[in-house]
């Protein structure tokens, strides 16, 4: 009887250890608070948990694991398994994907942003560069074209941008600098304070960020049609963590990414539909720039910045022209 009980206990313990070994728990580093910008991460966490019967879970942390500028570093050392970052926060660490932050690329919809981003993410130059940080591209965080909010009199001509202190990162910062603006790259979480204290006159964000970080509450006006470009913010996974997934969990993860993106697009679409009512509610004037002003901005900040990016990146050994052409061909195919 004692032998039988011992064997039963051993079997029970073996089953318990096997179940524990089969369980997968990932920590995910994002920032701010839950918002449209993180809905695909939240949905991915829900999907993998549902499909695995709770055996594969993701703990999404809003700033508790790392600050946004250090998420890629955290991925590289395995501090957490998945993270979100924006290319403009550390352009030297992710040079290849900065092609997606060039001003005036002509991307018009969130669906187009997904298509061009994922095409670039699959390019060998991007894969190799991200591998240096032990990072594997998972999906983009598609955002519409950025626009400005500001205080005081609306800035609705190119001349008004001269001397304007603007929170803008990456290629957008370069674009505003090209017309006399003074860009600063404070993080999204710091933008409200920078605007409130007068460190910046204006802030360039997509709609969800103006809501989430409160800059819309400081604003008197919003440029409804400037559309100079957007930033690119991938979700990445630690390569070792991804490779160590069981075949079942890896399949669940991979198949859930398109579903998470679809959820993100639907959710963001609903936000865009109510944006005009948000402006009215907060008494923010929608400013429409003349097309001649937008064309002049594009002439100064579009082609010259693109050409300089291609020259600089080529000199650093990147297939810059190939990456830019891939954006253009993918955009054409998407349409």
Quickly state the pLDDT bin for 3 (edges 50, 70, 90): low
- For the cut 90, the answer to whether the pLDDT of residue 129 exceeds it is yes
Residue with tokens 């006399």: 180
Q: Residue 20's pLDDT is what?
A: 44
Angle 280-284-285 from CA coordinates, rounded to 5° = 100
> What is the reported pTM?
0.86
The CA-based diameter of the chain, rounded to the nearest angstrom, is 92
Q: Residue 170's pLDDT is what?
A: 84
Residue with tokens 């679409």: 269
Q: Residue 21's pLDDT is what?
A: 46
CATH topology of domain 24-141+231-272: D-Maltodextrin-Binding Protein; domain 2 (3.40.190)
The structure tokens listed for 236 are 């990445």
CATH topology of domain 147-230+284-334: D-Maltodextrin-Binding Protein; domain 2 (3.40.190)
> CA nearest 219: which of 155, 273, 160?
155
Q: If residue 105 lies in a helix (H) or strand (E), which one and from where to where?
A: none
What is the C-alpha separation between 324 and 165, in angstroms, rounded?
29
Computed over every residue of the chain, the mean pLDDT equals 92
Domain boundaries defined on the chain: 24-141+231-272, 147-230+284-334
Do residues 102 and 47 touch, judged by C-beta distance below 8 A? no
Q: Which of 11-15, 212-216, 272-276 has the lowest mean pLDDT?
A: 11-15
135-139 sheet: strands from edge to edge: 56-62, 24-30, 82-84, 235-238, 135-139
Angle 27-32-35 from CA coordinates, rounded to 5° = 90
Do residues 241 and 119 touch, judged by C-beta distance below 8 A? no
DSSP letters, 186-226, are --GGGHHHHHHTTS-SEEEE-HHHHHHTSGGGT-SEEESS-
Fold match, 24-141+231-272 / 147-230+284-334: yes
What is the DSSP secondary structure assignment for residue 72, as one 8-state letter? H
């Amino acid at each position: 009887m004692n032998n039988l009980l011992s064997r039963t206990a051993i079997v029970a313990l073996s089953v318990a250890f096997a179940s524990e070994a089969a369980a997968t728990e990932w920590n995910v580093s994002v920032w701010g608070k839950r918002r449209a910008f993180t809905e695909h991460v939240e949905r991915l966490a829900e999907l993998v948990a549902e499909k695995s019967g709770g055996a594969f879970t993701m703990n999404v942390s809003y700033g508790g694991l790392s600050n946004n500028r250090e998420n890629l570093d955290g991925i590289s050392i395995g501090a957490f398994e998945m993270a979100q970052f924006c290319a403009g926060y550390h352009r030297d660490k992710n040079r290849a994907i900065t092609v997606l932050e060039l001003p005036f690329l002509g991307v018009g919809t969130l669906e187009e942003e997904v298509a061009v981003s994922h095409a670039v993410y699959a390019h060998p130059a991007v894969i190799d560069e991200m591998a240096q940080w032990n990072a594997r591209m998972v999906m983009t965080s598609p955002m519409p074209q950025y626009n400005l909010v500001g205080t005081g009199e609306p800035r609705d001509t190119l001349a008004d941008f001269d001397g304007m202190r603007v929170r803008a990162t990456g290629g957008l910062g370069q674009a505003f600098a090209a017309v006399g603006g003074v860009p600063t790259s404070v993080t999204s979480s710091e933008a409200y304070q920078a605007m409130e204290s007068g460190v910046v006159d204006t802030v360039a964000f997509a709609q969800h960020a103006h809501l989430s970080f409160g800059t819309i509450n400081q604003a008197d006006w919003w440029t409804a049609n400037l559309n100079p470009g957007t930033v690119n913010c991938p979700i990445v996974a630690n390569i070792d963590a991804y490779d160590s997934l069981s075949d079942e969990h890896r399949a669940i993860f991979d198949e859930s990414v398109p579903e998470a993106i679809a959820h993100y697009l639907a959710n963001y679409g609903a936000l865009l539909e109510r944006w005009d009512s948000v402006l009215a509610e907060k008494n923010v004037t929608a400013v429409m720039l003349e097309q001649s002003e937008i064309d002049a901005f594009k002439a100064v900040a579009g082609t010259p910045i693109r050409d300089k990016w291609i020259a600089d990146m080529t000199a650093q050994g990147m297939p810059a022209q190939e990456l830019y052409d891939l954006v253009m061909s993918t955009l054409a195919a998407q349409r």
